[in-house]
Amino acid sequence: MKRSRRVKILATLGPASNDIKVIEELARAGADVFRINMSHASHELMRETVAKIRSVERTLKYPIGILIDLQGPKLRIGRFAEGSVMLAKDETFTLDASDTPGDKTRIYLPHPEIFSSIAVGDRLLLDDGKIELRVTAISPEAINTTVVYGGKLSDRKGVSLPDTMLAVGVLTDKDRADLQAALEMEIDWVALSFVQRPEDMIDVRKLVQGRAGVLAKIEKPQAIERLEEIIRLSDAIMIARGDLGVEMPLETVPGLQKRMIRMCRRLGKPVVVATQMLESMITAPVPTRAEVSDVSIAVFEGADAVMLSAESASGAYPVEAVTTMNKIAEAVEQDANYRGIIRAQATEPEATAADAISAATRQVAETLDLAAIVTYTSSGSTGIRASRERPSKPIIALSPKISTVRRLSIVWGLHCVQTEDAISLEDMVGRACSIAYVEGLARPGDRVAITAGVPLGTPGATNMLRIAFVGQDGAGGS
């Protein structure tokens, strides 16, 4: 099975799609990576879902990535005596440390870290930003505020703090337990929610110890302030536009999306665009024209992957949503303007032999009209470098490690295949040509470009470029 598009599709699994037959349908329709949201999944459900995905992977003989999305710190208010209250503009309202039921003047806030971090003048956004409060006074027991935008406020609504840097890390006790369980299941990616600072990434990397890729979800204004540092410490990022659009002005999000995609391309880190991409397909079999345009923009900008959330997890049309996203991506990548836009966004390669080889390989493949680029990659870094160049030719990433093959399933343009490590240069060329032929990406008489590190099997040491002919039986020769 191979895709006729380069951008990858992440599909979230949930009540509408965690049946093994539906998972197989989603994979056949175009899903490359499946996301399990730990905000809604127990360890038992996660293990069952991972087992189903691995079963589908064996059936399809196609590598599938699994991303575990950690919940992160969920800040919520307490409960009201009457279940809800109406807050009016310019009224005063207090959030305090008393766990008694709230009323029109006050509510319990069970988060001492907020009391120690917030400052006068800071904003509190409640219920996904529908209600805005401004802090007027602070004490160890209470935060006094004025209502800027009012409305109905009910029990256990979420709290966002766009102006406040919390003094605690983002990993909760639940996240640590979920992460340990996920690593035991040998998942491929772990997503860290509500990243604020580079130190958050350092904390989770110490726990993961290279056993999975670490993806930073960018959804806080504080993360934007230190964006490049966070990206450098991540294996990939996700532009989580939902929470980002709550805590920052909505009109700034499209520009931030473009900025983050380009920065990730420059730094050689995969980037996922997420949230509300085909939101109307939760209840409708077709998307809105605006949603089609939104997905198209992410593909034109060169994002590595686009993601479905509730559309595939709890919507009425999960398979149709993946099919639609696949069709949009294919149409964009065949558009006459696509290659020109992608090339215009290219950045200069880093001053390393590996990056220079990857840049040269793209140019050679396009100048000589080669059938494909074949990269041998142990750690995955060679494959990511090849993808960063966004070549017009197919990229085949070969690795002896199934963990690397699965992890690369999130990366733009990579057709990943597990194969034994080559034992010699001749074996490497023959294996590359044979796999390109078997996978349907090269025909007898075609030529392919091959990149690898010599000595063979040395991680991150890409230093060789070969051009080889594909023989009548798929064998290769220089």
- What is the set of active-site residues? 35, 76, 217, 275
Structure token digits, residue 475: 């064998």
Distances (CA, A) of 193 to 40, 72, 104, 460: 14, 5, 32, 29
Task: Give phi and psi for 127, each to the nearest 5.
Answer: 55, 60
* Residues with Cβ within 8 Å of residue 117, at least 6 apart in sequence: 161, 164, 165, 166, 167
Q: Could you tell me how far CA 233 lies from the centroid of its own chain? A: 15
CB 308 within 8 A of CB 12: yes
**Cα–Cα distance between 247 and 263 in angstroms, integer?**
21
* Alpha-carbon gap, residue 67 to 391, rounded angstroms: 26
Helices 353-367 and 381-388: crossing angle in degrees, nearest 10, is 50
Is the CB of residue 462 less than 8 Å from the CB of residue 354?
A: yes
- Two tokens, residue 215: 């993806």
Contact (CB, 8 A) for 402 and 338:
no
Q: Is 390 left (phi over 0), alpha (psi -120 to 50) or beta?
A: left
